[in-house]
Structure 1
Amino acid sequence: MSLYSKIIGTGSYLPPRRITNHDLAAQLAEKGIETSDEWIVSRSGIAARHFADTGVQSSDLAVEAAKRALDAAGLQPDEIDLIVMATSTPDHFGGFPSTACVVQRKLGITNGCPAFDVQAVCTGFAYAMTIADNFIKAGAHKKVLVIGAEVFSRILNFDDRTTCVLFGDGAGAVVLSASNEPGILATRLHADGRHSEILCVPGKPSGGMLEGSAFLVMDGQAVFKLAVSVLEKVAHEALEIAGMDSSQLDWLVPHQANVRIMQSTAKKLGLPMEKMVVTVDQHGNTSAASIPLALDQAVRDGRIRPGQNVMMEGVGGGFTWGAVLARM
């Protein structure tokens, strides 16, 4: 009998502080930087985002999303036997201890289960899901908590209107369980380090200090061009592995970076826009959190239902991209 991994619970969390484009434009105007709601919406589709308060870290957002996913799955924290967390904004400088271990402690999980972080920026959740899926199919773990959480507001340069208006903070989580029924139907991951400099944080630790900038930098045109070219391809790759075609998809849940990229991908897959889950307008780009945030919203509002086929895909710094095809 074949062993599969299946999503049995989803959860998400947004910090309470909501920042509209008008709020952000007013903040930037005080620094002599001109932008507007119209300018931001026309380029990205983003109308608002959430920022974490001072002192709130990725682990704090992750814990809230994880609690909701565990509740939806009907599980207690100690029933989890693996935690895989995707983040580019870990709690600790240098990335250790891993934020996954911090989340494990904050959830009160004391069963000694392994916990680790995955770094693939905006593709992080697809990477984390693929890792968890393979652990389950190998028989190594039965209940896996997969989380994407970010506080990107901490690495934004608010003197650069081309990047600071695009990102937000948040967390999303799923519980994957071993199952005899098909759940994760296919995954496909890629990376191309030749493009590592088009989206990065260039600073490096040196002598206990930061050498260079700790702010995100991005070549927006280069990222846009690459994203549009790879997302359709990786979706088709996942469909081919599963022996399916795009007409069998009920929902597309893409990384929420730019509504134009998302619309282009849906069009190339032959999907009507009504089959695409869009949260970028209210969340901004929450990097590794964006897919699970959007998935949870669509599950909880009743759009995504059991038995439906969902394509999740992302693209991010590294340069990385990937897709996860799941039957809910």
Structure 2
Amino acid sequence: MNAFDYHQAVDAEQAIEQAMRRQQTRYLGGGTNLVDLMRETVERPAALIDVSTLAREIEETTHGGLFIGAGVTNAELAADPRVRMRYPVLSRAILCGASAQIRNMATVAGNLLQRTRCAYFYDIASHCNKREPGSGCDAREGFHRYHAILGASSSCIATHPSDMAVAMVALDARVHLRGPDGERSLALSELHREPGERPDLETVLAPEELIVAVELPPLPMAAISEYRKVRDRASYAFALVSVASMAALDGDTIGDVRLALGGVGTVPWRARRAEAALRGAAISERAIDTAVEAELEMARTLPGNGFKLALARRLMTSELKARVADAREGGES
């Protein structure tokens, strides 16, 4: 690990000011990803600005949503009674991720900004366009069982590893940012960039810009929501395929639906084609099958990860059927 300077910020303004004073500065939350990358010399910051003590509150919004500070830990967020009752998909997604010890340290902002766990990205002897632009992608011809089938490019097929982000994307969360040019907010689905020809550019964050909060809108149908994760072992494993889902009915039709996928995309994948196909559709197995196929027709597989296509199809179908059944039961109770 290389030598670096360390500073603990007292507020967001000071953190941004300190970051602007020097090059190669990184913000430090829980450090559960960044410290690993520094240990492997993938990340070599000259300075760390510790923001882990900032923005540690979860507050109600005037419209009935939740305003979640960037420094809230994953464990705190998953355990919050308001999250468990109004957004169970989020609580369950977080509890599916990592270990209890990591969830106790990892922060909301750090989770969203964590980098891929692709083995070739972590191995500095391998060719990786995400780590070193223009060097190539060894994963395409190597071991790519865990890699993306949606949003990939010839330059990169690495998946985004977060479970929490998948649930938040499904919930239409917004991220609130602060930087040298002031404050702004954007949909979480717009935060991460698909790799294209520049997989090293992973988000739309400007230099020194800091995530200060995530806002969840009021969403009644989220009270009946679920996160399902398929992985190689029962715990402490990244998703092969995961699905965050919820639905609301309008008589015999699907009034609204939210669907997001993990383990298959280069970003937390909002399944907008499937959603569009289902909204207003009569409730039927055929409608669900058609919607799933509409989303997965964009998938591009390689020899080692082709199984993900069939797995995603089955998981999306079963979860959509389950959410429709849940919504129908909720409407009848």
TM above 0.5, yes or no, is no
TM-score by length of 1: 0.28
**TM-score, normalised by the number of residues in structure 2:** 0.28
Higher relative contact order (CA 8 A, sep 6+): 1
Q: Which has the higher strand share?
A: 1
- The structure having more radius of gyration, on CA atoms, is 2
User: Which structure: greater helix fraction?
Assistant: 1
